[in-house]
Amino acid sequence: MAETSYLLQRIEKLTEIGTALSAERDTSKLLETILIGAKGLTNADGGTLYSVQEDGTVKMEIVRTNSLDFAMGGTTGKPIPFEPIPLYDEQGQGNHQMVVTHAVLNDCTVNIPDAYDAEGFDFSGTKAFDTNTGYRSTSFLTVPMKDHEGEIIGVLQLLNAQDEQSGEIIPFSSAAQRLTESLASQAAIALTNRHLINDLKELLESLIQLIATAIDEKSPYTGGHCKRVPELTMALAEAAHASEDEPFKTFRMTEDDRYELRMAAWLHDCGKIATPEYVVDKATKLSTIYDRIETIATRYEVLKRDAEITMLRRQLECPSDEERAAAHSDYQREIEQLDEELAFLQRHNIGGEYMAEDVQQRVHEIGARLWRQRDEERPLLDDNERYNLTIARGTLTEEEREVINNHIVVTIKMLEALPFPKKLRRIPEFAGGHHEKMDGTGYPRGLTAEQMSVQARIMAIADIFEALTAKDRPYKEGKKLSEALRILGLMKQDNHIDPDLFQLFITEGLYQQYAENFLSTDQIDSIDVSKIPGLN
């Protein structure tokens, strides 16, 4: 009855260990749980857990010996100094001298009552350890750990079984061996599942970053945007997580929450993969396949030629030197006027933050000038050229801006079509909300602050600040730090961005951290926080 009770207790313990293994997510802690559980199950004084490496070696992952208070690897932070043990020698012969490699090569459990009496195995290292420490390594139980496909992924080795009453070192019993083999099987499945989950997680993250990199590489004018926004997003999210102030007291992130937000930040512009390059890359107002300002410059050459012909004809028809000089003077004034007009158009072909109405009107006036092509008089600028040259902000027409803005609609459609697991289900909402505004005037859904998560509002600020400071936009240079903060402050005053997150962004100095990591030195100027609009 006593033996039956003992086995029932051990089986119950085995069940508890199996439950713990299923719940553990950290690989290092999982390995530690396996070894400690095996030691407790068999009342072993020490033990080592090995992993089988792809290079054909067996590597120590965790070592524990209770009586020596000896622990390395796992969560201890103490690295294991021993080199991995090769499964084969240089001639390709199996390494059967070492117990652990023999167990792997033969797919068998090795139960040794006393290492000092064992034949066929090399215990010289063990004996040297004993000499140095005064320890006596006696009984060994070495069990391979096989995954669901029968592949050996590790080895569980226990040392010095102890009698529960006397504490005397005894051999590992057949019952202890069976329990350990059962635990090794459960442990291998738990490890395989954890590795599979980690591998799938790494694959998903790599694919997401691959998409973001492809979008950045698609255009020289947005290079790095998809990589920089996640940095800003996570910095601001961590600041909110750590804050004890009222607006953020309830905002706390788990590791899963962090991963979900980071992936959303990487994917926030994935819809740009469907945006035409000619719109994204529109560096000037007249850019299409080429910059049409060159075509307009050619028309001015025609006007100059015609002006010269007119002058020469007048000079031929004029009998006096004075009249010929007057014709040449008129020609020079005409050339200067044409040069000034072309320079004006070239200057305003470059996008800017604002184009005054009187400047736009002058474009229309210049466009009305006639030039001759194949004996037909035409306006210098056609309707499309005038329309593009009078773009008030940037280089995009309203229609082209709609094409650009549509990327967020495509982003949401793409992300909502993906079967994200439960822990990533909010990615479409986080990524799809970075162009919304607190007052409901954003796009594409016109959400208000109450309808947006904190994460989406964080991403909105990150996206705006990165865009303001980016030096790779086709229509502007990267703004200096002070100017970017001024604009961000005005957006806060206009109720376009979250006021509490804006306050946190400034007071925690996140803008300065970002600047030091990502901005050029000429962009980083001195900041007088008291002059930032909207700051409490």
Mean pLDDT for all residues in the chain: 88
Task: Tell me the helices (H) and strands (E) count for the chain, helix number first.
Answer: 18, 10
> Could you tell me which of 236, 50, 56 has the C-alpha nearest to residue 157?
50
Q: Which of the residue ranges 3-17, 56-70, 83-97, 255-269 would you say has the lowest mean pLDDT? A: 3-17
Cis peptide bond prior to 444, omega within 30° of 0: yes
Most confident range (mean pLDDT) of 33-42, 161-170, 190-199 is 161-170
Considering only residues 528 and 24, tell me which one the structure prediction assigns the higher pLDDT.
528
Considering only residues 535 and 346, tell me which one the structure prediction assigns the higher pLDDT.
346
Q: Assess contact for 98 and 139: CB atoms under 8 A.
A: no
Tens of pLDDT along 210-227? Answer: 887 887 777 665 657 888
pTM of the model: 0.70
Per-residue pLDDT, averaged over 97-110, amounts to 94
- Alpha helices by DSSP H, listed for 390-477, are 398-416, 427-432, 454-469
SS3 call for 433: coil
- The residue extents of the domains of the chain are 2-197, 220-274+420-531, 293-395
Class of domain 220-274+420-531: mainly alpha
Tens of pLDDT along 285-330? Answer: 999 888 999 999 999 999 999 999 999 999 898 878 898 899 999 9
Tens of pLDDT along 355-384? Answer: 999 999 999 999 999 998 888 999 999 999
Tens of pLDDT along 335-361? Answer: 999 999 999 999 999 988 789 999 999
Per-residue pLDDT, averaged over 27-55, amounts to 85
Q: Assess contact for 507 and 487: CB atoms under 8 A.
A: no
Q: What pLDDT was estimated at residue 148?
A: 76
Per-residue pLDDT, averaged over 246-258, amounts to 93
Which CATH superfamily does the domain covering 2-197 fall into? Answer: GAF domain (3.30.450.40)
> Could you tell me which of 535, 510, 522, 533 has the C-alpha nearest to residue 480?
522
Does residue 451 carry a pLDDT above 90?
Answer: yes
Does residue 1 carry a pLDDT above 50?
Answer: no
Q: What pLDDT was estimated at residue 475?
A: 57
Q: What pLDDT was estimated at residue 188?
A: 77
Q: What pLDDT was estimated at residue 342?
A: 96
Question: 18 — phi, psi (to 5°)?
Answer: -60, -40
